[in-house]
Amino acid sequence: MNATEIIHIIGTAAFALSGYLVGVRKRLDMLGVMITAMLTAIGGGMMRDAIVGRIPLVFTQNTAWAVIGITLLLAWGFKLQNTRKRELAAVFLWADSLGLAAFTITGAQAGLALDVNIFGVVMLGFITAVGGGIVRDVLVNDIPMILRKDFYGTVSVIIGLALYGLDKLGWVNPFTLNLLLFGGYVLRLWAHRVAWRLPKF
Amino acid sequence: MNATEIIHIIGTAAFALSGYLVGVRKRLDMLGVMITAMLTAIGGGMMRDAIVGRIPLVFTQNTAWAVIGITLLLAWGFKLQNTRKRELAAVFLWADSLGLAAFTITGAQAGLALDVNIFGVVMLGFITAVGGGIVRDVLVNDIPMILRKDFYGTVSVIIGLALYGLDKLGWVNPFTLNLLLFGGYVLRLWAHRVAWRLPKF
Amino acid sequence: MNATEIIHIIGTAAFALSGYLVGVRKRLDMLGVMITAMLTAIGGGMMRDAIVGRIPLVFTQNTAWAVIGITLLLAWGFKLQNTRKRELAAVFLWADSLGLAAFTITGAQAGLALDVNIFGVVMLGFITAVGGGIVRDVLVNDIPMILRKDFYGTVSVIIGLALYGLDKLGWVNPFTLNLLLFGGYVLRLWAHRVAWRLPKF
C-alpha cells in the first residue's frame, strides 16, 4: 500500500466518524446515522469521480466500505453516543480536521494525475474534502461548515496549493505527503483554536 | 417493451405525481409545481447517469417526458389539488412508495449491467430511487425523507440487495422483477403503517 | 473570440457579481463571499459538464477564473458592500438576470453540439443557468429562486426553446445570439417588474 492509499484510508475513517457524530447529535435513528457517516465518508470522492467523469472508485473497490464498517463498529462499541457533549465536539473536530486534510491530498493528487490546471487541482482537493461534509450538513439542515468561521475551506485550499507546488518542484514522496497531512491537520486545529476569522466586509 | 422499461415508466409516473403533490402542498406556482414534479421524476436517474459518466437517458429518449406530461395532466384534470389534505397525504404515500421500489430496481439493474460490486449495485438503486426525492425536499426546504423515520431508505437497500441476490442466482426475469416491485412497494407501505422505527442510540 | 465565448464571459462576470452580493447580504466572511461568488459563476457549468460526462472546462481553461477575479476586485474596489440595501438589490437583479440569459445560451449550445433532444437542449441551458444559483441559495439556506415568483426559470426555458428553434431554422449567428441575450435579459427584468405570477392552484 502506498502513501496515497493509506492517507485515503485515514480520511475515510475520519469522515465516517465525523458523520457518525453528526448523526448522533441530530438524534437520527440507526439508519440515519449510518447514512450520514457513509455519505460524509464517500460523498466527496463520489462528487470528484462524477466531475471527472469516471465510475466512482467505491463501486469497484471494497476498501472504503470495510474502513467505514470498522469505524462505525468501533464508534458504537466505545459507546461514543454516551459521551458528554463537550467531549463529542472535541472528537468531531479532530476527526473532521483529519478527514479534511487527508481527502484534500488524495483529491488533489487525482487532479495532478489528470493534468488539470492549478484551479482544477485545488478544486478537486477541495471538493473531495468538503463534498461529504456539505452533503451531510445540507441533509441535516445545517449551514455547511465551509461558509462559517474558522478558516475551514481555506485550509483545504492551502493544502491543495502546497501539493501543487510540491508537484511542480518534484518533491512528492511519502515523507512530504505525510508531512502535508500532519501540517494541514495541525493548521486546521490551530485555526479553530485561535478562532481566526477572515475580515468581514 | 421489456419488464425493466415498464417498471421505469411506472416509477417515472409515480414520482412525477409525488413531486406534484409536494408542490401543491407547498403552495408553489404552476411552474414551481411542474419543476418539482419533473425533478422528482428525473432527478434520481440523472444523478445515476452523472455518477456513471454517461449522458442522461432523458436527453436521448422521450419516454419519460411523455409519461411526466400525461401524469401531470391527469393530476390536474382530476383536480387533485382540491382534495382534502388527509387524502392527499395517502396518495402521496402510495405514489412515493411505488416510485421508490420501481426506481431502485431500474437503478440497481443499471449497476448490474456495469458489473460493479454489491455496494455499487445497491447504491445506484438507492440513488436512482431517493435522488429525486432528496432534490425535491432540499429545494422546498424540508429535511429529506431518508433521514426521518419509517424505514424509507432501508426498503430501497433491501430491494437492491434482493435484486443483487436474484442476479447471482440467475433468477432475474419479468416475473421476479414484478414480484420484487410489488413486494418492495408493500414492504414500504407496511413499514409506514407499523411505524416501525430503528432503535435510536 | 466568437460570440459564444463572449457571452460566456459576460455570464461568468454577471454571476460572480450576483454571488458576491448574496455573500455580502448574508454577512459572510471574505472567504465565504469568494466561495459564493465562485460557486455561482462556475457551479452551473460544472453541473452541465458532470452531466454530459466531461472534465469541467474550468479545469483546463483559465478564462473564467480571470473573469471572476477581475469582477471581485472591481466589486470590492467600488465598495459595493457599502451601498444601500435597495440599490444592492437592484444591482443583484441586473447581474443575476444577465447571467441567467447568458448561461442559458451557452449551456443550450453545448446541448446542440452534443445532438441531444429538445428536452436535453433546454435542460442543459436551464441547468447551466440556474445551477450556480441553486447551489448558492441552498448553501446560504435560502429557498432557491427558481421555485419562487417572477418567472425565473421560465425565462431560461423560453430562451432555450428559442435557441433550439433558431438552430432548426439555421439562424444561429453572432447577431441572433446577441439578440437572444438582450431579449432574454429584458424579458427577465420585465417579468420581475410586472410581478407576473403564474396562476397558483
| Cβ neighbours of C122 in B, within 8 Å | none
| Number of inter-chain CB pairs under 8 A, A vs B | 68
Q: How far apart are CA C140 and CA C137, in angstroms?
A: 5
In this prediction, residue B111 has a pLDDT band, given cuts at 50, 70 and 90, of: very high
Q: Is residue B117 part of a domain?
A: yes
Nearest to B198 among A30, A54, A60 (CB): A30
What is the rounded CA–CA span in Å between residue C151 and residue C170?
A: 28
Please report whether residue C119 resides in a domain.
yes
Q: How confident is the model at residue A111 (pLDDT cuts 50, 70, 90)?
A: very high
Instruction: Select from A35, A60, A139 the Cβ nearest to the Cβ of B116.
Output: A60
Q: What is the pLDDT of residues A60-103, one digit of tens each?
A: 989 999 999 999 999 888 876 666 778 888 898 999 999 999 99
Residue A45, pLDDT > 70, answer yes
Cα angle, residue A102 at apex, residues A96 and A106 outer, rounded to 5°: 140
**CA pair distance B158, B146, nearest whole angstrom:** 14
Whether the pLDDT of residue C28 is over 90: the answer is no
How much is the pLDDT for C146?
65
**Poorest-confidence range of B81-85, B116-120, C196-200?**
C196-200
Mean residue pLDDT across chain A: 87
More confident site: C22 or C83: C22
**Angle at which helices C152-169 and B30-52 pack, to 10 degrees?**
70
pLDDT tens per residue, range B130-159: 888 887 887 777 777 766 655 677 889 999
Residues A20-35: tens digit of each pLDDT:
999 888 888 887 888 8
Query: What pLDDT is attached to residue B146?
Result: 65
Establish if A153 belongs to a structural domain. yes
Q: Average pLDDT over chain C, rounded to whole?
A: 87
A117, A143, A147: best to mutate for the C interface, most C CBs within 10 A = A147
Q: What percent of chain A has pLDDT over 70?
A: 91
Considering A31-45, B52-66, B135-149, C94-108, the range whose residues carry the highest mean pLDDT is C94-108
Q: What pLDDT does A94 receive?
A: 92
A50, A62, A141: residue with CB nearest B51? A50
Across the interface, of A28, A30, A55, the residue whose CB is closest to B53 is: A55
Rounded to an integer, the average pLDDT of A36-41 is: 92
User: Mean pLDDT across the stretch B151-172?
Assistant: 91
Question: Residue C101: is its pLDDT beyond 90?
Answer: yes
pLDDT the model gives residue B96: 92
User: What is the per-residue DSSP string for C53-83?
Assistant: T---GGGT--HHHHHHHHHHHHHHHTTGGGS
Is pLDDT at A146 greater than 60 in this prediction? yes
| Res C116 pLDDT > 70 | yes
List chain A residues with CB under 8 Å of C29. Answer: 149, 197-200
- Min Cα–Cα distance to chain C from A145, Å: 10
Which of A:12-31 have CB within 8 Å of B? 24, 27-31
Task: Give Cβ neighbours of residue C175 (< 8 Å, ≥ 6 apart).
Answer: none
Convert the pLDDT of each residue in B85-99 to its tens digit. Answer: 788 888 989 999 999
Chains with at least 3 CB pairs less than 8 angstroms from chain A: B, C
Residue B10 is placed in which grid cell? 411506472
Bigger pLDDT: B135 vs A164: A164
Q: Confirm or reject contact between B49 and chain C (CB < 8 A).
A: yes
Rounded alpha-carbon distances, angstroms, from residue C57 to A27, A117, A129, B152, C46: 41, 10, 21, 38, 8
Kindly list the residues from chain C whose CB atom is less than 8 angstroms away from the CB atom of residue B61. 117
Question: How far is the alpha carbon of A78 from chain B, nearest alpha carbon, in Å?
Answer: 13
Overall number of domains in chain B: 1
Task: Judge: C201–B24 Cβ closer than 8 Å, yes or no.
Answer: yes
The whole-number pLDDT of residue B10 equals: 95
C169: pLDDT strictly greater than 80: yes
- C138-159 pLDDT, tens digit each: 777 777 776 665 567 788 999 9
Query: Is residue A15 assigned to a domain?
Result: yes
Cell 432475474 belongs to residue = B172
* Residue A36 maps to a domain: yes
Q: What is the pLDDT of residue B153?
A: 79
* ipTM of the prediction: 0.74
> pTM of the prediction?
0.81
Question: Who's near B154: CB < 8 A, 6+ residues apart?
Answer: A31, B191, B198
Check residue A165 and give its pLDDT.
96
Q: Which of A77-81, A123-127, B39-43, C178-182 has the lowest mean pLDDT?
A: A77-81
Tell whether A53 lies on the interface with C, counting CB pairs under 8 A: yes
Does the pLDDT at position B84 exceed 70? yes
Is the CB of B74 inside 8 Å of chain A's CB atoms?
Answer: no
Mean pLDDT of C11-40: 89
Q: Which of A31, A80, A134 has the highest number of chain B CBs within 10 A, making it the mutation to test binding with B?
A: A31
In a domain, residue C198? The reply is no
Cβ of A59 within 8 Å of Cβ of B111? The answer is yes
**Nearest-CB residue to A35 (from B147, B197, B199):** B147
**Is residue A200 in some structural domain?**
no
**Span C62-74, average pLDDT:** 92
Q: Which domain holds residue A148?
A: 3-193
C-alpha cell at B42: 428525473
Residue A81: predicted pLDDT: 63
Is B33 an interface residue toward C (CB < 8 Å)? yes
The letter for the amino acid at A96 is D
In a domain, B12, yes or no: yes
% of residues, chain A, pLDDT over 90: 55
Mean pLDDT throughout B11-21? 94
**C198 in contact with B, Cβ within 8 Å:** yes
Look at residue B28 in the predicted model and tell me its pLDDT. 84
